[in-house]
Homo-oligomer: A and B are copies of this chain.
Amino acid sequence: MKIKSEIPECIKKCGVEYAFKRIGGKYKGRILWHLSLKTVLRYGELSRTLPDITTKMLTQTLRELEDDKLIIRKMYHEVPPKVEYSLSDTGLELIPFINYLHNWGQKQLENELLPNEH
Contact = CB atoms under 8 A, between A and B. Distances in A.
Given A4-B113, A90-B108, A97-B100, A20 B15 contact: no
Contacts of A110: 11
A97 B96 CA distance: 9
Given A93-B104, A106-B11, A109-B10, A16 B29 contact: yes
Query: Chain A interface secondary structure, helix, strand, loop or mixed?
Result: helix
A40 interface: no
B29 A20 contact: yes
A97 B101 contact: yes
Interface of A: 3-4, 7, 10-11, 13-20, 22, 24-26, 29-30, 33, 52, 90, 93-94, 96-98, 100-110, 112-113
